[in-house]
Structure 1
Amino acid sequence: MNKHIAGIVLYNPDIPRLQENIESIYKQVEQVILIDNGSKNIKEIKFLINRFEKLTLIENKQNKGIATALNQIVNYSMNCNFNWVLLLDQDSVSPLNIIDEFDRYTCTDEKVAIICPEINDRNSVQVSNSNNIEEYEYVKECITSGSFLNCSIWYEIGGFDEKMFIDYVDIEYCKRVIRAGFKILKVNRVELLHEIGKRNTYKFLWLNVPTYEHSAFRKYYITRNTLYFTRKYKEDENILYAYLKVIKRLIIVVLYEKDKWKKINAMYRGMRDSYKMI
């Protein structure tokens, strides 16, 4: 019988939502590892987790980014002799059968690096695709939260890219998985309740333009990492298309969003700093 572990990355989490997250996965695994990235509400976090026995908290005194925290989780899991680890964001709620369902596929193909669920966005009005007639399918990428990660393959391809800090971390890892000849398997009947972000739709001429409104902090990393990722994989990616995406986001900021100058400045710095990363 396989042992199971789950890892959750924390940064100023909403405590009731975090409790819901922990309770949804706690009975499905032998251990839960929490990596805190310098949360201001660390006392409330500790008060909550003291109610649970098999939780381990590792505190980073400052925000080291999502990539570093994910690498800490997988390193810890390997040191404790776990072969697979379930990665979760702090606002995700797992179905009660996620581990049992994923476990069915861990031995079917030695090339599977990630097993992932259908994502059900809390803020979306769209109906999920859980009625897909296929039991599972192979995909080219998935988000980090809800992904069941093969620790040995993570080690083989070099873990998550810590230069990225946040944004595109999951996409970049998936790119390396596929390029190395491994696979990402999506189980269509497993749904993860996850909050992707606040989505807005703006009217531009005759078009409805959907977008997620982010802070200047996030605008910087999204811009920087979009261009860094495209240059890093220039054999597969289109740099012109990447710049067009950045320009589109910039136009939306100028026309519709608050804190325009902060965000424009952040995006400019992101473009500039992307050249320093390669």
Structure 2
Amino acid sequence: MSGPFAGDAHALRTVGGVVARHRVFAIVVTFNPELDVFAALLDATRAQVEVSLVIDNGSTPECAARIEQACGRRAVLHRLSANVGIAAAQNRGVALAREQGATDVLLLDHDSVPQPGMVATLVKAASQLRGSGHVLGAVGPAIVDRKSRAAAPVPVIADGGITFVDVGGTAPVRCEYLIASGTLIALEAFHAVGPMNEAYFVDQVDVEWCLRAGAAGRAIFCVPQARLEHAIGDEVVSFWLLGRRELPVHSPMRDYFYFRNSLRLIRSPYVSLPWRRFWKRRLVRLFVVQTLFAPARLRRIRAMLSGLWAA
């Protein structure tokens, strides 16, 4: 596609000695976004990809009208009549990108802003990793929290357990999973691993896909030199428990899906024993902490218990 939707940054890749053009399409899923952040996302993404596809996941009519206005000539908007979940919306975007000749997709949440050069850095890293013999699932940037400005660590398995390591330096870091926003996936890899699991609806969708990719022999890498500004959690709750601590929290509705989907992951045959142990401990700790310190405690308790029951 050319014209107003075409970005000015076309990356190159080498396949069997033949240089071929990457066609990177951004897949931006929206659901009642903050319009100023969404507009910043569109501005930041426009010059880095060939096409930005915005999949609106059933936003309110008023918000949907403002999304359409914000997209203008910067992005192609596709509206869904209802909220079908982030997994289904991402799958729809990938299908549209494939129909229009994309080679790679860049997944983005509506509250993320790519930093300059992020996509080119990811494409270059992916090409180098393939050239080194890696069969890739996905590559993604370092995630920088919009409020704290801290880069989120990434999970790895070490000494039979799960640990989260910082992503300083310049070399790509092989990890267990990436959050979806900012993830660059070649359509070849997406086809090999399979689509996002729409039964998950929201929460752990990205984790499930990455672990499925890993089980299929495909590597996941974080590229520290690529940066994405992102909001982690709807709010941060501070509390005292053997020292001052902070916990990013989402709505009770999201608690339902997190607990349901985490238990489904624990039961999945392709999830390793270290991850099963990790999530069992994580769910217990999260249940206790949110019951004691998070707002809307009764609603959260009901949501967490309902999620476990529904799994």
Q: Normalized against structure 1, the TM-score is what?
A: 0.90
Q: Are positions 1:78 and 2:98 aligned together?
A: yes
Q: Distance in 1 between matches of 2:264 and 2:254?
A: 15
Which residue pairs with 1:20 in the alignment?
A: 40
What's the CA shift for 1:233? 3.7
- The 8 Å contact of residues 167 and 173 in structure 2, kept in 1 or not, is answered as no
Displacement of 1:128 in angstroms is 6.9
The alignment status of 1:113 with 2:150, answered yes or no, reads no
Could you list the per-position Cα deviations for residues 248-274 of structure 1 after superposition, in whole angstroms to 9, with x for gaps in the alignment?
222223222222221111111101100
1:61 is matched with which residue: 75, 81, 93?
81
The residue aligned with 2:57 is 37
CA contact (8 A) 1:131 1:189 kept: no
8 Å CA contact 2:29–2:86 kept in 1: the answer is yes
**8 Å Cα contact 1:84/1:148 also seen in 2:** yes
Match of 2:285 among 223, 241, 248: 248
Secondary structure in 2 aligned to 1:19?
Answer: helix
What's the counterpart of residue 132 of structure 1?
A: 168
2:299 equivalent in structure 1: 262
Q: Which amino acid aligns with 2:24?
A: H
User: Cα distance, 1:209 vs. partner?
Assistant: 4.1
**What is the deviation of 1:11?**
0.2
What are the Cα deviations for residues 94-151 of structure 1, in whole angstroms up to 9, with x where unaligned?
A: 1121222122134331611211111111122546789833432222211101111111
1:224 maps onto 2:294 in alignment: no
Q: 1:215 to 1:69 in 2, by over 3 A?
A: same
Work out the CA distance in 2 between the residues paired with 1:127 and 1:42: 31
Amino acid at match of 2:46: Y
Q: CA RMSD for the aligned pairs? A: 2.1
What runs of 5+ residues in structure 2 fail to find an aligned partner?
1-20, 154-165
With over 3 angstroms needed to count, the CA separation of the structure-2 counterparts of 1:264 and 1:158, relative to structure 1, is: same
Q: Distance in 2 between matches of 1:145 and 1:235?
A: 22
1:234 deviates by 7.0
CA distance in 1, matches of 2:77, 2:113: 19
The alignment partner of 2:200 has SS state of coil
1:168 to 190, 204, 211: 204
In structure 2, the residue matched to 1:48 is 70
| Aligned-pair CA distance for 1:240 | 5.7
Deviation for aligned residue 1:153: 1.3
Distance 1:252 1:185, change over 3 A: closer
Letter aligned with residue 151 of structure 1: L
Which runs of 5 or more residues in structure 1 are unaligned?
none
| Percent of paired sites with the same residue | 25
SS at match of 1:123: coil
**1:234 & 1:208 partners in 2: Cα distance?**
37
Q: Report the 3-state secondary structure (helix = DSSP H, G, I; strand = E; otherwise coil) of the residue aligned with 1:221.
A: helix
Tell me which amino acid in the other structure corresponds to 2:33: P
Q: Which moved more, 1:239-248 or 1:85-94?
A: 239-248
* Structure 1 residues 245 and 150, CA gap change in structure 2 (3 angstroms): same
Secondary structure of the residue aligned to 1:163 is helix
The DSSP-based 3-state class of the residue aligned with 2:198 is: coil
